Amino acid sequence: MNIDIVFHTPEIPGNTGNAIRLAAVTGAHLHLVEPLGFDLSDAKLRRAGLDYHDLAHVTVHASLTDLWNHLGERRVIAFTTHTDQSFAEVDYRDGDVLLFGQESTGLPDSVVDDDHVDLSVRIPMLPSRRSLNLANSASIAIYEAWRQQGYTGA
């Protein structure tokens, strides 16, 4: 599977630790865009990632511009609550990039509206609920993309 996960300015070390574990078990590449709300040596991040840190491919980018330069012309799918298109309506393909915002505010409009973002999708949930946990959202999305690809490599 060649699908990447991006956390744009994540704030909670446990979520990023869980995403490291997710990247390790799915083969996804995890990108973190600074500033991070924690130090990468944080004990909560290490504990959540358990012993998967050495099995995951993680890259930290100093800025969104650095991320775009690294990714090149790949299709970027932004996950946001500010759209009606369901993530389940997308035909995921090899090379896709799944972009998520920070825990407290999600993706800023400036990121969702960036020319590098090709699609904006949402994960359905009951009305009057603010959001899902960041690591859970990434898990739902990567497993749907991987399922559509027949769990290649599993």
Tens digits of per-residue pLDDT, 11-53? Answer: 998 899 899 999 999 999 999 999 999 887 767 666 655 567 7
Residue 100 contacts residue 5 (beta carbons within 8 Å): yes
Bigger pLDDT: 141 vs 56? 141
Tens digits of per-residue pLDDT, 46-73? Answer: 665 556 777 889 999 999 999 999 999 9
Full 3-state SS string of 90-137:
CCCCCCCEEEECECCCECCHHHHCCCCCCEEEECCCCCCCCCCCHHHH
Domain boundaries, given as residue ranges, for the chain: 4-148
- What's the distance, Cα to Cα, between the start and end of the chain in Å? 9
Question: How many CB atoms are closer than 10 A to CB 58?
Answer: 18
- Residue 101 known to bind ligand: yes
**In this structure, which topology does domain 4-148 adopt according to CATH?**
Alpha/beta knot (3.40.1280)
> CA separation (Å) from 92 to 50, 101, 152?
29, 20, 13
